[in-house]
Amino acid sequence: MSAAAKTRPTDLAATFEDDRYSWTRRRSVRRAGVTGEAVLVGVLALAALAAGHGVLVGGVFAVVWVVGLVLFVPLHSVVNLGVRGLYDRREASLDEVQRTQRDRSATATHWPRLLLSLLAVLVAVQTATGADGAGAAAAAFSVGFVLWFASWLTSTWHLAWTLPEED
Amino acid sequence: MGRTPKTDDDAVHHRIAVLRAERGASRKDLAEAVGVHPQTIGYLERGEYSPSLVLALRIARFFDLPVEAVFSLDPLPPLSSEVYGRTAR
């Protein structure tokens, strides 16, 4: 018997296997979730860039970010449930197919993750040097943060997009 | 670790679905017995994943058959023709 079979599932793993959330595992739902998250991250990055260059006032920027982050939580829950939380679970709770799927997505997104991380630093520095005042510096930090955050999400996005339909 | 077959030549042929139906075992029964997720049995049955040696041996042990009776590199003939030595006309 494998380690996966011997290990008692944690509450987190049980949640990812809960049939009440089987609708999130449909390919169309997973892809819609990924698209929604990518658009949301793009909007947050653009809002931060606009605020950093004085196009967007601080108050509007703050509202956009708060609304965006509030929307992100349920959206990411759907995407994560759709991939059965493969990146959040202990290695021992995954079987060989799940480990293969997770590793394949991590490998496929290695370069995009690296590029997004570098871009995060470059854009943050560029926006900060062109920034005038504490509000603009905060916006520069936000641009860097959202790009770094996107780099962290790409493996999950790839997995959610490419996983075959379950039956 | 098994892998996803890239071409037809790369595929591992098997009788998992036939044997499972014959024994009246569900995917969940087989999955629990061999220590994998039930979806993994689905991936195997649809040929979307080729099992590792250890998983193939566990599946063969579940059916109490030699591994070559369950898995093959060449397409497997129907069980009925193997048992009775006859082929369909």
Does residue B75 sit within a domain? no
- Whole-number pLDDT of residue A7: 56
Residue B14 in any domain: the answer is yes
Across A59-76, average pLDDT: 93
Mean per-residue pLDDT, B59-76 = 94
CATH value at residue B55: 1.10.260.40
B5 in reach of chain A (CB within 8 A): no
Rounded mean pLDDT, A99-103: 94
A109-155 confidence digits (pLDDT tens): 999 999 999 988 888 787 777 666 666 677 778 888 899 999 999 99
Q: Taking the domains of chain A in order of start, what are their residue ranges?
A: 10-162
Query: In this predicted structure, what is the pLDDT of residue B86?
Result: 66
Asked if A10 contacts A90 with a C-beta cutoff of 8 angstroms, the reply is yes
Residue at B46 is within a domain: yes
pLDDT at B26 over 70: yes
* Token duo for residue B22: 């014959």
Name which of A2, A18, A97 to mutate to probe chain B: the one with the most chain B Cβ atoms within 10 A of its Cβ: A97
Overall size of chain B counted in residues = 89
Residue B72, by phi and psi: left (phi above 0), alpha (psi -120 to 50) or beta? Answer: beta
Chain centroid, CA B75 distance in Å: 12
Confirm whether B77 is domain-assigned. no
Query: Could you list the residue range(s) of the whole structural domain that residue B60 is in?
Result: 8-69
Q: What is the pTM for the complete model shown?
A: 0.83
State whether residue B6 sits within 8 Å of chain A by CB.
no
What mean pLDDT, rounded, does chain A reach? 87
Residue B80, both tokens: 């009925």
Beta-carbon separation of B35 and A167 below 8 A: no
Residue B56 covered by a domain: yes
Kindly state the helix (H) or strand (E) to which residue B72 belongs, with its residue range: strand B71-72
For A3-28, the pLDDT digits (tens) are 444 556 678 888 898 889 999 999 99
pLDDT at B89 over 60: no
> A2–B4: do the CB atoms touch at under 8 Å?
no
Query: How many domains are there within chain B?
Result: 1
